[in-house]
Amino acid sequence: MIILQDYNLTELTTYLTENFSVKPFVAKQIFGWLNKGVDFDGMTNISKQLRSQLKEKCVALSCTIIQTLTSQIDGTQKFLFKMSDGNLVEGVLMKYKYGNTLCVSSQVGCRMGCKFCASTLGGLVRSLSAGEILGQVIAVNALGNGQERYVTNIVLMGSGEPLDNYQNVTKFLQLVSSPDGLNISERNISLSTCGLVPQMKQLADEGYNVNLTLSLHNAFNDQRYQIMPITKAYSVEQAVDALRYYFDKTGRRVIVEYTLIDGQNDSYSHALKLASLLRGLSVHVNIIALNPVKETGLKGTSENTLKKFISYLEKLGISATRRRSMGRDIEGACGQLRKRYLEGDNEE
Ligand code: SAH
């Protein structure tokens, strides 16, 4: 089956003209419906005959929301998306004063093997296509009751390593930021990576302008390797050089994520090493207390140590703030998103 949300307007027009002899203005109408999250049955200005022909060969919406959980603490919502082949991924909508940020998944599972993260348990099933990432944004945006910009910001921080799915993720960036589509500016999109250095540079070379975020979590290579196997392929110095490269090309301040794990990366010497690694870079550090994932056996740092760690960094001249953890009661916080199965959850 062809997933129509994989196409931009030009590609969709070509596809529909060549295969269904559809006129360009009709293709444009269909494109409009796709961006509103409307399935074939709701495309009221398209002839029934064409719609039934399309249904035989194509999927209009790449995914549907099959479950929604709402946090009692902060109103954060977690969605379970079902892809057209039955695979499931999770996404999270966080509501802030300035707008709504949607966290989307880029892969079903993940093969990076970070020791603290739920998304990688069980490995990678498959990468999502551009339209399957876009479909998550469109499905949630459609919940805004006709409000054109219900989702204002996007973070590629759900399950998966976005740069391990480079072609589809960059195509997604083009689709979602296109004025023909949802028109969400790259400035409002953050892409988080565990540090795939060549692809970080490629993003800069190809002129992307997203907020690039590096998940660092430890500035010592030997220790980082213990929790993030990717360190064997690319050292922390190489990853930080790639951030510098990105900043030099794009002028966009880069971000480092640092999750504090009790007794592992939260001492003064860790702060010192982190500060010396980041010295001279236009960077902001987001500090997060580890969110519990029961399989990992790892514990988050105490409140007290977390505050101390931030003050060490500030004294060392590094801009750092705590990133509020949202949706913990629905396992919707960083690192808690995982593969789910329809019949019987895989966790129990
Ligand atoms: N693969 C990408 C994006 C997904 S993870 C990446 O590595 O950046 C999004 C963020 O959540 C990353 O910074 C990740 O390291 C962090 N994270 C993973 N597990 C976590 C946990 N249990 N508690 C807090 N943050 C976690």
Per-10-residue mean pLDDT of the chain, 348 residues long, equals 98 98 98 97 97 98 96 92 96 93 97 94 96 98 88 97 98 97 97 98 98 98 98 98 98 97 97 97 95 87 96 97 82 75 46
Task: List helix spans (H) across 210-266.
Answer: 221-227, 236-250
Ligand 1 centre from 334 Cα, in Å?
A: 5
The domains found in the chain, sorted by start residue, are 2-59 (1.10.150.530), 63-333 (3.20.20.70)
Could you tell me if the CB of 129 is within 6 A of ligand 1? no
Going from the Cα of 161 to the center of ligand 1, the distance in angstroms, rounded, reads 10
**Measured distance CA(266)–CA(305) in Å, rounded:** 7
Ligand 1 centroid to residue 18 C-alpha, Å: 43
Residue of 124, 192, 197 with the most ligand 1 atoms within 8 Å of its CB, for mutation: 192
Catalytic choice (63, 90, 110, 114): 90
DSSP character for 345?
Answer: -
**What pLDDT score does 344 carry?**
46
Task: Say how many Å lie between the CA of residue 341 and the centre of ligand 1.
Answer: 21
The 10 Å CB-count burial string (b at 16+, else e) for 174-195 is ebbbeeebbebebebbbbbbbb
CA distances to 14, 42, 58, 73, 331 from 25, rounded to whole Å, are 12, 18, 19, 47, 44
pLDDT at 341: 63
Whether the CB of 337 sits within 6 Å of ligand 1: no
DSSP state of 181: T
Q: Tell me, in angstroms, the distance from the centre of ligand 1 to residue 335's CA.
A: 5
How many Å apart are CA 151 and CA 171, to the nearest integer?
19
Catalytic, 303? Answer no
Question: In a mutational test of the pocket of ligand 1, which residue from 108, 257, 331, 339 has the highest number of ligand atoms less than 8 Å from its CB?
Answer: 257
The finding on whether 214 has its CB within 6 A of some atom of ligand 1 is no
The residue whose CA is least distant from atom 26 of ligand 1 is 335
Task: Tell which one of 92, 102, 157, 163 to mutate to probe ligand 1, the residue whose CB is within 8 A of the most ligand atoms.
Answer: 157
Cα Rg for the chain, rounded, in angstroms? 21
Look at the block and give the residue holding tokens 């969709």: 12
Give yes or no: 117 in active site.
no
Q: Is 259 in the pocket of ligand 1 (CB under 6 A)?
A: yes
Distance (Å) from CA 115 to ligand 1 centroid: 10
Please tell me the distance from the alpha carbon of residue 238 to that of residue 328, in angstroms, as a whole number: 33
> Is residue 87 within 6 Å of ligand 1 at its C-beta?
no
Task: Tell me what pLDDT residue 334 has.
Answer: 76
Sheet holding 283-289, edge to edge: 63-70, 77-83, 88-96, 99-103, 153-156, 189-193, 211-215, 254-260, 283-289, 320-322
